[in-house]
Amino acid sequence: VGYFNLSIFGPADFGRGPYVLTKSDRMQGFTLGVNIPLWFYPQSTKVKAAELHTKIAQSDYNYNKDLFEGQFDESYTLYLKYQSSISFYKKSALINSKAIIKEAARAYEAKEIGYVDYLTVVSNALTIESNYLNVIHQNNMAVLKLQYLVSK
């Protein structure tokens, strides 16, 4: 839709003989038009490309969602495993380790075992305690990973 207002001056012929237009003679009017594209192919390919980009984005979303859920499930399973191990160490392994060290010290002082045997027994007991500390560390790492994944 449009509106026009023109000033034309100079000689003109409207079919009734020569005529001279002045600046005060004005021509006014409206225009109305409809735009029909002659080629639909470029527009349809743009639509197809947008649909393809949507499918790609959906595929990326599904992949990342599955990846996240897998990482979360793995971390949670590790966390539960380490909690179970910590419970085991607290309930029996650490108690037994301390008892082993105490009994080895008593046996060494009573000359029932030699120094090498004493060191071997104490070393094994300390390995149990070292493994307990390692499990605590792994548990803390699993908790940190879970917190990281939850914050995503």
Residues 6+ apart with CB under 8 A from 75: 142, 145, 146, 149
115-151 helix and 94-109 helix, angle to the nearest 10 degrees: 160
Q: SS3 of 125, please?
A: helix
Give the predicted TM-score (pTM) of the model: 0.60
Question: Alpha carbon 54 to chain centroid distance?
Answer: 18
Average pLDDT over the chain, rounded to whole?
89
Residue 7 to residue 23: CA distance in whole angstroms: 6
Helix axes 41-88, 115-151, angle to 10 degrees: 150
Ranking 20-29, 48-57, 87-96 by mean pLDDT, the lowest is: 20-29
The residue behind tokens 């607290």 is 90
The whole-number pLDDT of residue 11 equals 78
Per-residue pLDDT of 48-90, as tens digits, reads 999 999 999 999 999 999 999 999 999 999 999 999 999 999 9
- Residue 10: pLDDT band with limits 50, 70, 90: confident
Nearest alpha carbon to residue 74 among 140, 146, 141, 137 = 146
Are the C-beta atoms of residues 76 and 146 closer than 8 Å to each other?
A: yes
DSSP state of 138: H
